[in-house]
Amino acid sequence: MSGKQRLITDVFAQHKKELSRVGKTKVATTTVDESVHDVDSETAQQLLRDKEIDVLKQFDLCWEYGPCTGISRLERWERAEKHGMNPPDQVRRLIMKHEDETNYTQSLWHDYPL
Amino acid sequence: MSEESTDNVTFQRPSSTYENLSTRFLQKDRNFQRQYAHLYAERLCSMRPRLLETAKRRWGESVVMRKLYEMKAEEKCCIVGTLFKSMELKPSILKEISEDHNLVPQPARDKYIADSDTLILEDELQRIVLVGNVDVQKAITGVVVAVSGHERDDGKFEVDDFCMADLPVQLPPKQLDEDRYVVLVSGLGLGEEGHHLMNLQLLLDLITGQLGSPEEQEVYSKVVRVIIAGNSLSRNTQQTDVLSTAKYLSRKVKAGTVEAVKALDDVLAQLASCVAVDVMPGPSDPAFCFLPQQPLHRCMFPQASVYPTMQSVTNPYEASVDGVRFLGSSGQNITDIFQYTDMEDGIGILEATLSANHIAPTAPDTLACYPYYNEDPFIMSECPHVYFAGNQTKFQSRIFKGNAGQKVLLVTVPRFVSSHACVLLNLRNLQCTPVVFSSNIGSE
């Protein structure tokens, strides 16, 4: 039992660490030769990112659009659109803007095995 | 006799218009990572508007439509959801694993129904047990229905009435001024032990016009298409023991299907030289078992595939021949429902699937099917004129009349290997007759 629980928290911790590490290294490289102003813009970007991811998470958690595991967010959005449920257009725009980032394209549960 | 030899009549086979409408059954991608929840969600979403419409017409515009979570106790309302039959005897892999240690595997049965079966209605979020005016053993898992009634104190739903969606609109068939026929045949069973090919050869010769009196030849010259509805190869050709034997033992063993496929190629070549042929795969053919089964590859039929008339198609298969819309399967959908309901009749089950607007409602529950997420190709979006199922025990046919004047001919096509019969269907008046071949030649 305890072994299993640790595994889940590991996944959560890793996920968060990765995100923050990416942010930190970027900050570190820029601060070497750039001004303090850029550090601020980096944190601002991070904040914006968090907000965007949050919007996408809310979309995942909206049950009206059907199950979200195993398919990409865009696929789910398009299915909802097909059934005339009017999914928020912002979600689609966000996904399209970050087409190469799994954080944006895949659902909340993407990292978990089925 | 002398008259026949002097008077050489030739009958011209009429040409027909044909359109293959099965593209939705063709596999576009192969992703097996998904769960089946998507298919059920998709099915419910697609069927809901149609059911709401039917429910309003049946129970009046003022009927209260609720989702399960909005339902109030004792309020009379109408709910749209997917049926699920909870069955104790249903074979379950989990049960088998948990009982692995000490018990014998569950026995194979003809039917898995029991008195303790209960019917459950599911919508997007919740499920509720149905009681009252529903026949549990007639219900089919996976069918989307609308029920009207109220929730009882004990949390069960008392059903007063229920309905399924109306059939979609049917285009009137084209009026033909002459007889034209389509032959339906299934279960050729090549490779079956003790199977005498004489009857099959009679069938081929009759269709290709090498047999019969001039009158018969005239009739069979008007056959414009032959649809072979699955199981062209016998189940015996699938040697599953090869899988469990060591490779070095089975290396030199020829697969049992090879000879049978060669024989099938012969059969198809004879037919395709004269008439258009559609070959559907069935559960015992060399194709994937899950629905929709993909067309058998042309390279299996080197002789037959040179003819443009030979076509390998999907199962289920939908096509329009001279304006008559055919829809049908190789019969595994019907056989599967047979096991999980008390319906005995192939034609009755076929009718039930038609009124459910769904070719294979038990997929993915007890019938293997591809995990679709954004479409359910088994939903009937247009009403066919002929709805058939292959590999049934006997020939039966029936006219089904829809609420909006739709007329659908239901046909169960018997296994050729056991019944020696095919079905001759007249496109002009949608009448069908079985043609039975029986010979004593070759059998002692």
How far B83 CA sits from the closest chain A CA (Å)? 18
Q: Is A66 on the interface with B (CB under 8 A)?
A: yes
Percent of chain B with pLDDT strictly greater than 90? 39
Beta bridge partners of B186: B415
Q: What pTM was computed for the model?
A: 0.83
The pair phi, psi for residue B97, each rounded to 5°, is -70, -45
Q: What is the pLDDT of residues A22-36, one digit of tens each?
A: 444 444 444 445 555
Q: Is A64 on the interface with B (CB under 8 A)?
A: yes
Q: What is the pLDDT of residues A47-78, one digit of tens each?
A: 888 888 888 888 888 888 888 888 888 889 99
**Measured between alpha carbons, how far is B412 from B348 in angstroms, rounded to an integer?**
10
The pair phi, psi for residue B311, each rounded to 5°, is -135, 130
Q: What is the pLDDT of residues B342-401, one digit of tens each?
A: 888 899 999 999 999 999 999 888 899 999 988 899 999 889 999 999 999 999 999 999
Q: What b-and-e string marks burial along B126-163, b requiring 16 or more CB atoms within 10 Å of the CB?
A: eebebbeebebbebbbbbbbbbbbbbeeeeebbbeebb
Q: Is A41 on the interface with B (CB under 8 A)?
A: no
pLDDT confidence of residue A37:
63
How far A95 CA sits from the closest chain B CA (Å)? 18
Confidence class for position B65, pLDDT limits 50, 70, 90: confident
Average pLDDT, rounded, for chain B:
86
Single out the residue of B280, B408, B281 nearest to residue B350, CA to CA. B408
Evaluate the omega torsion of the peptide bond into residue B292 and state whether it is cis, within 30 degrees of 0. yes
Do B34 and A70 lie within an 8 Å CB cutoff? yes
Q: Which of A63, A75, A114 sits opposite B374 (nearest CB)?
A: A75
CB contacts, 8 Å: A75 with chain B: 373-374
How far A49 CA sits from the closest chain B CA (Å)? 28
Q: CA–CA distance from B178 to each of B222, B227, B314 (Å)?
A: 9, 21, 30
DSSP B293: B
| Residue B17 predicted with pLDDT over 50 | yes
- Could you tell me whether strands B407-414 and B386-392 are parallel, antiparallel, or unpaired per DSSP bridges? parallel
CB contacts, 8 Å: A63 with chain B: 124-125
Amino acid making up residue B377: P
Do A75 and B34 lie within an 8 Å CB cutoff? no
Do B37 and A67 lie within an 8 Å CB cutoff? yes
Do B41 and A114 lie within an 8 Å CB cutoff? no
Do A69 and B41 lie within an 8 Å CB cutoff? no
Do A75 and B373 lie within an 8 Å CB cutoff? yes
| Residue A14 predicted with pLDDT over 90 | no
| Residue B91 predicted with pLDDT over 90 | no
Do B41 and A66 lie within an 8 Å CB cutoff? yes
| Residue B327 predicted with pLDDT over 90 | yes
Residues ≥6 apart with Cβ < 8 Å to A89: none
Confidence class for position A7, pLDDT limits 50, 70, 90: low
How many residues are given for chain B?
Answer: 444
| Residue A84 predicted with pLDDT over 90 | no
pLDDT confidence of residue A44:
87
Q: What is the pLDDT of residues B137-162, one digit of tens each?
A: 888 999 999 999 988 888 899 999 98
Residues B419 and B396: beta-carbon distance below 8 Å: no
Q: What is the pLDDT of residues B195-248, one digit of tens each?
A: 678 888 888 999 988 888 888 888 889 999 999 998 888 887 776 666 667 767
**Measured between alpha carbons, how far is B102 from B385 in angstroms, rounded to an integer?**
53
| Residue A17 predicted with pLDDT over 50 | no
Beta bridge partners of B233: B190
Q: What is the pLDDT of residues A91-107, one digit of tens each?
A: 888 888 888 888 888 88
The CA angle B171-B220-B226, to the nearest 5 degrees, is: 55
**Measured between alpha carbons, how far is B17 from B316 in angstroms, rounded to an integer?**
21
Q: Is B35 on the interface with A (CB under 8 A)?
A: yes
How far B34 CA sits from the closest chain A CA (Å)? 5
**Measured between alpha carbons, how far is B285 from B334 in angstroms, rounded to an integer?**
17
Q: What b-and-e string marks burial along B414-438, b requiring 16 or more CB atoms within 10 Å of the CB?
A: bbbbebbbbbbbbbbebebebbebe
H or E segment to which residue A24 belongs: helix A2-33
Q: What is the pLDDT of residues B97-134, one digit of tens each?
A: 776 666 666 667 788 888 888 999 998 889 999 998 88
**Measured between alpha carbons, how far is B414 from B431 in angstroms, rounded to an integer?**
17
Q: Is A114 on the interface with B (CB under 8 A)?
A: yes
CB contacts, 8 Å: A64 with chain B: 124
Three-class SS state of B151: strand
Do A79 and B37 lie within an 8 Å CB cutoff? no
How far B438 CA sits from the closest chain A CA (Å)? 53
Beta bridge partners of B431: B426
Size of interface A-B (CB pairs under 8 A): 36
User: In the structure encoding, which two tokens stand for residue A5, read together?
Assistant: 């629980």
Residue of B29, B52, B372, B373 to mutate when probing chain A, most A C-beta within 10 A: B373
Q: Is the interface score ipTM higher than 0.90?
A: no
Q: Is A71 on the interface with B (CB under 8 A)?
A: yes
Single out the residue of B424, B144, B52 nearest to residue B275, CA to CA. B424
